[in-house]
């Protein structure tokens, strides 16, 4: 059994997103506590070192990257931030050069949220699948067309490169690393210590999270969509409109304005989102699963998956390691 702690280098910069740094850091620290020994050693680093401000007005002490020599067992995690902070980080040649060199050596190179833009600027995501915050997916694809942006995943693993979506998904990604290193039991124990409601797996979609973020609490679509997610077998466009206290025509216009999709496509996305989770976490046969998610038949579910994900439900299940059912 490995006894020497594995080093986790969390790369920060001025006005870095606080939780992008502290979330993964706490996961690795909690893993050591749960194991009863130092499994990981977290170091905060930046270009130039010293105190760095964060998005919540905190300051963190960082080591100078120039004094850190990457090792083969290291994990490097690049945090994210708001656009101004990310632009400054991308313009930092020392930072990009260090990341490029480290990527050839370390065990894992990762990013949280908009940290993916920094990895992409260093050329590390060229030809790779990558995730970022749902609001930045189009921008990442536009600025770095060689990156294969996964708009659905909470986090993506492509070889040694790991990328996570928005902010708290860095915690999910770090838990997955702990599971890979030390086993599922310990990762679950860490999640319990951190009082996480549920561990989210990488294939889970950002779609509902994006809906919640886009809709104001007072918007009648919010409660209607929440009801729809819990009643996928019953929901249709007419019922969704009734729940939102809107006419079907007004519902259609509101969905286009607020979410860029039609009510029918919204319902289909919700069904696909639920089905993809069940496909990977249960052994339910496709027919049963299709009925539970409101598709009506396995054939209709297959066509919906092909529209949303570019592959059928069976192919999705096999890709995610569950085998044929």
Residues 6+ apart with CB under 8 A from 143: 117, 120
Name the E strands within the chain: 6-11, 40-46, 50-53, 59-64, 75-78, 108-111, 129-130, 148-149, 155-158, 161-164
Residue 129 and residue 159 in contact, taking contact as beta carbons nearer than 8 Å: no
CB atoms inside a 10 Å sphere around CB 153 = 21
For the CA atoms of 317, 322, 323, 325, the dihedral, rounded to the nearest 10 degrees, stands at -70
Q: Which residues pair with 99 in a beta bridge?
A: none
Calpha distance 280→290 (Å, rounded): 14
Question: Residue 145: what pLDDT?
Answer: 96
SS3 236: coil
Nearest 5 degrees, angle CA 305-CA 306-CA 309?
70
pTM summary value: 0.70
Q: Which residue in 18, 88, 87 sits closest to 53, CA to CA?
A: 18
Q: Which residues pair with 155 in a beta bridge?
A: 164
> What domains are there in the chain, each with its CATH number?
6-193 (3.40.50.880), 207-319 (1.10.10.60)
Q: Which residues of the chain have pLDDT under 50?
A: 1, 213, 217, 322-325
Question: Residue 167: what pLDDT?
Answer: 76
């Amino acid at each position: 059994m490995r006894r020497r702690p594995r080093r986790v280098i969390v790369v920060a910069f001025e006005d870095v997103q606080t939780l992008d740094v502290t979330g993964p850091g706490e996961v690795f620290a909690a893993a050591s506590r749960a194991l009863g020994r130092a499994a990981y050693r977290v170091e905060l680093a930046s270009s130039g070192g010293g105190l760095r401000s964060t998005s919540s007005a905190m300051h963190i002490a960082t080591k100078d990257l120039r004094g850190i020599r990457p090792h083969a067992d290291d994990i490097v995690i690049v945090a994210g931030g708001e656009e101004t902070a990310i632009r400054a980080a991308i313009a930092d040649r020392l930072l990009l050069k260090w990341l490029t060199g480290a990527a050839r050596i370390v065990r894992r190179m990762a990013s949280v949220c908009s940290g993916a833009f920094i990895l992409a600027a260093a050329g590390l995501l060229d030809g790779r699948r990558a995730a970022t915050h749902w609001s930045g997916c189009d921008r990442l694809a536009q600025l770095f067309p060689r990156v294969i942006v996964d708009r659905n995943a909470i986090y993506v693993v492509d070889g040694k490169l790991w990328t996570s979506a928005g902010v708290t998904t860095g915690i999910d990604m770090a838990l997955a690393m702990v599971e890979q290193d030390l086993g599922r039991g310990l990762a679950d124990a860490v999640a319990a210590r951190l009082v996480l409601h549920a561990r989210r797996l990488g294939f889970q979609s950002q779609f509902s999270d994006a809906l919640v973020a886009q809709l104001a609490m007072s918007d009648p679509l919010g409660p209607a969509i929440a009801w729809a997610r819990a009643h996928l077998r019953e929901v249709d466009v007419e019922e969704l409109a009734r729940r939102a206290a809107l006419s079907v025509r007004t519902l259609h216009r509101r969905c286009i304005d607020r979410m860029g999709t039609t009510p029918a496509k919204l319902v289909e996305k919700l069904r696909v989102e639920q089905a993809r989770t069940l496909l990977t976490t249960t052994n339910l046969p496709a027919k049963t699963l299709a009925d539970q998610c409101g598709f009506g038949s396995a054939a209709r579910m297959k066509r919906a998956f092909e529209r949303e994900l570019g592959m059928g439900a069976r192919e999705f299940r096999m890709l995610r390691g569950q085998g044929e059912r």
